[in-house]
Amino acid sequence: NVLAGRPRDLAGRRVVVSAGGTREFLDPVRFLGNRSSGRQGLALAEAAAARGAEVTLVAANVALPTPAGVERIDVTTTAELRDAVLKSSVGADAVVMAAAPADFRPATYADAKIKKRTDGAAPTIELVENPDVLAELVRSRPAGAAEPFIAGFAAETGDANGSVLDHARAKLARKGCDLLVVNDVSGGGVFGQDDNDVLLLTADGAAAPVGRRPKAEVAHVIWDTIVQRLG
């Protein structure tokens, strides 16, 4: 049982975990969102606290209780998530971006509810790109500094341009983070499930399959990898 007899090997460490999915509002009643439940992020926060870390959880629309001993900052949009993550990551030992930030937001916000048109024509929603928080975290780390250790998540499917692993390696290189937790979502449902099946891809090129396990166990395996790499 990987949960039994865990050492307090994160004692004295400060870590930041983001969880959930951001929402981008079109008008006072409507938003663009995604299906991230925040379960894996919460499991990461809980596991780190159990191992002795001081944990800040940046939670985007997570309808789950806060694990004991975890400081929680609630956010809604990707812009709010960015501010909270960048601020709380200053001086942190590790940052794990388990959240699913919306990549785009509506170019304009309507202060009043958007009404149906009398001629029946459908509106067109123009989108603009959101900042990439993970890439920004990597860029804001001083050159040569080992801390914070920065981990990202990626849900990938294989396609005509490459396998899940091909896409994941390209994403790790593009983002410049130290670890990418890769989810193969070709088969469908990981959202809201208690289990997860991931692969840990590190910047040195190693790929370690974790296998299908409860999200709490996956969280501990991720922290095992991070603890090994912290100075």
CA distance 191 to 152: 17
Binding piece for Ca ion, criterion CB under 5 A, among 32-40, 97-105, 121-129, 197-205 = 97-105
**Torsion angle, alpha carbons of 82, 88, 94, 97, to 10:** -30
Closer residue to ligand CTP, CB minimum distance, 99 or 219: 99
User: C-alpha angle with apex 42: 47 to 23, nearest 5 degrees?
Assistant: 155
Per CB under 5 A, which of residues 188..227 are in contact with Ca ion? none
Q: Which residues of 62-79 are buried (b: 16+ CB within 10 A; e: fewer)?
A: beeebbeebebbebbbbb
CB-nearer residue toward ligand CTP: 173 or 206: 173
Longest dimension (CA), the chain: 66
**From the CB of 90, what's the least distance to Ca ion, in Å?**
25
Q: How far is the CB of 82 from ligand CTP (least distance, A)?
A: 7
Q: Distance (Å, rounded) from C-alpha 75 to C-alpha 97?
A: 14
Q: Which residues are at the interface with ligand CTP (CB under 6 A)?
A: 78, 97, 99, 101, 103, 130, 132-134, 152-154
183 in catalytic set: no
Smallest distance, Å, CB 146 to ligand CTP? Answer: 20
Q: Establish if 103 lies at the interface with Ca ion (CB under 5 A).
A: yes
Name the residue number minimizing CB distance to Ca ion: 103
Candidates 1, 34, 61, 196; catalytic one: 34
**Structure-token pair, residue 85:** 């993550």
75's contact among ligand CTP, Ca ion, none, with CB below 5 to 8 A by partner kind, is none
The binder of 42, among Ca ion, ligand CTP, none, by C-beta within 5 to 8 A per type, is none
Mind giving me the DSSP string for 9-64? TTTT-EEEEEEEB--EEEETTEEE-----SHHHHHHHHHHHHTT-EEEEEEES--S
Minimum distance from residue 103 beta carbon to Ca ion (Å):
4
Residue 149 or 153: which CB sits closer to Ca ion?
153
Q: Which residues are catalytic?
A: 34
